[in-house]
Amino acid sequence: MPVDGRIRAYYWSLRTFLEEKAAILNPEHPDCRFPEDDNQVYYTHYLEGCLVFIDGSRLRFELALGFDEVYNVVEKRYFYGYFNPSGVRRFQYDNSPHHPHLSTFPHHLHKGPVPKKGKDIALDCDLTEVSFFAVVSKIEELLTR
Amino acid sequence: METVLTDTNMTLEELIRRVRQSARPIYVGTDGEIDIVVRSVKRTLEPEQAAAVDTLSNLFHKLQVYEVRYRMDSEVFFYKYENALLDESPDFISWWISYFAFAGALMRYNLTRSDVECQLMAGSERTIGAYAPS
């Protein structure tokens, strides 16, 4: 498959995955955003959106995609913020290179509300690999527990 | 002594001559033929380029909003953020990811465009490459 074809394939794998998770999602919610076609991600390798779950919680995500050494699609730069229905953060995964002291650097996790003052403490990442699939699966686990 | 290839009756020397000729750029004598090629390439690429520019513009506008809000060039911001010289705020994370994607997309777009322009320039010089009929 041509390299760029993999980006389109990746987009459609996300769409398929979300179809499988229909039971926990509320796609009709006006805040729910996911690119309708694969053009944007194909040309820019950039994907941004917001998923609304059945309990009103939201996952905001923003990804810059690229390839690893064997041309698999990887999330080079990412942000996943999960918020309760009132907009208070529950957790956040990102790979900003701000916490070199962590064993999972640059991948890390923030838990709880964003502090109004002081530092937003970063923790070691608790996922083997942060990805759209892994984060949505984690939320599914929380919702169905 | 000539070596005859039995299944085609073509000599080996003739085959080598044809292969060499087909791999050599050839001069196209009439304007019409090459113009058809150029027009066809352009017609195929124009919608692709338009779509690429559209999606790049969206990202570019997003970067502009941040540049105005924080009075900083995206390139300068990216350098500072990558070196942890700025806070990890929601706006900055978004700006960082958007700029990373934009810079990569722009580079790919320019590479593709320069490839295509080289091809078209070659066309305008009335030459075409390999696989030309002997």
Q: Give the start-to-end residue ranges of the domains of chain B.
A: 28-127
pLDDT at residue B129, as a whole number: 38
Are A44 and B59 a contacting pair at CB < 8 A?
A: yes
Question: Does the ipTM surpass 0.90?
Answer: yes
Is the confidence at residue A4, as pLDDT, over 70? no
Is the confidence at residue A69, as pLDDT, over 80? yes
pLDDT at residue A89, as a whole number: 97
pLDDT at residue A44, as a whole number: 93
Domain ranges of chain A: 3-144
Please give the residue of chain A at the shortest CA–CA distance from B109: A43
pLDDT at residue A1, as a whole number: 42
Q: Is A115 on the interface with B (CB under 8 A)?
A: no
| Facing B105 at nearest CB: one of A44, A79, A114 | A44
Task: Give A-chain residues touching B81 at CB under 8 angstroms.
Answer: 96
pLDDT at residue B26, as a whole number: 42
**Rounded distance between C-alpha atoms, residue B61 and residue A121, angstroms:** 32
**Rounded distance between C-alpha atoms, residue A89 and residue A115, angstroms:** 10
Nearest to B64 by CA among A7, B56, B80: B56
Is the confidence at residue A66, as pLDDT, over 80? yes
Q: Is A38 on the interface with B (CB under 8 A)?
A: no
Task: Give A-chain residues touching B101 at CB under 8 angstroms.
Answer: 44-46, 64-65, 77
Is the confidence at residue A35, as pLDDT, over 90? yes
- CA-based angle B53:A60:B102, to the nearest 5? 25
Range B36-46 average pLDDT: 69
| Facing B97 at nearest CB: one of A64, A98, A100 | A64
pLDDT at residue B18, as a whole number: 63
| Facing B100 at nearest CB: one of A40, A77, A100 | A77
pLDDT at residue B111, as a whole number: 78
**Rounded distance between C-alpha atoms, residue B130 and residue B14, angstroms:** 18
Range A18-36 average pLDDT: 96
Summarised one tens digit per residue, pLDDT across range A92-140 is 999 999 999 999 999 999 999 999 888 899 999 999 999 999 999 999 9
